[in-house]
Every structure is written in structure tokens, then in C-alpha cells.
């Protein structure tokens, strides 16, 4: 599933590049086609990027947890981790 989402994200980036290409900007058919495709992918890419950012945050928190012995910091990090996990879809 993530491989497919990576492909969608890559295509979205390609479309961003295409939409800034003067040849595409001057061709109304291509501009319309690529703009629509980009708009169709926008929500999926936004959700996927948000998901990846949250997973990265969790990894950072796990690393910080493994490096600290401070009880207050551990509690704060665990609380933050729980909040992030609650925002992620259940797998």
C-alpha cells in the first residue's frame, strides 16, 4: 500500500513540475488535464504526508525515550506519543 502511495506522491510532484513548465502553461488542454489530475491527487497526498510526518514524530519520540531517564520527560513523551497514535488510523 505504501509503495502505491509513494507512486501517487511522486506523480503529484511531477505534476507540480509540469504545471510550472512554460510549454504546459501555454497549452490550455495540457494545463487543464494536469491541473485536474493534480487536484484529484491533492487530498490523498496531503493525508499521506501528514501520516508520514506523524510516523516520523513517533520515531523521534521513541528515540528520545530511549535516551532519557528523567521521569517527567518520559511521562511527557509518552503522553505526546499517545496523542499522536490516537490521530493515526488503526491498522
Question: With bands split at pLDDT 50, 70 and 90, how would you rate the model's confidence at 4?
Answer: very high
Quote the CA–CA distance of 41 and 35 in Å, as a whole number. Answer: 10
Residue with cell 494536469: 34
Q: How many CB atoms lie within 10 A of CB 66?
A: 7
Model pLDDT for residues 29-79, shown as the tens digit of each residue: 999 999 999 999 999 999 999 999 999 999 999 999 999 999 999 999 999
Q: pLDDT at position 1, please? A: 84
Question: With bands split at pLDDT 50, 70 and 90, how would you rate the model's confidence at 91?
Answer: low
CB 31 within 8 A of CB 41: no
Amino acid at each position: 500500500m505504501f509503495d502505491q502511495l509513494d507512486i501517487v506522491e511522486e506523480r503529484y510532484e511531477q505534476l507540480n513540475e509540469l504545471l510550472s513548465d512554460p510549454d504546459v502553461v501555454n497549452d490550455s488542454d495540457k494545463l487543464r488535464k494536469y491541473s485536474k489530475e493534480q487536484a484529484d491527487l491533492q487530498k490523498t497526498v496531503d493525508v499521506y504526508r501528514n501520516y508520514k510526518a506523524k510516523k516520523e514524530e513517533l520515531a523521534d519520540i521513541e528515540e528520545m525515550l530511549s535516551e532519557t531517564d528523567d521521569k517527567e520527560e518520559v511521562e511527557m513523551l509518552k503522553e505526546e506519543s499517545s496523542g499522536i497514535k490516537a490521530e493515526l488510523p488503526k491498522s
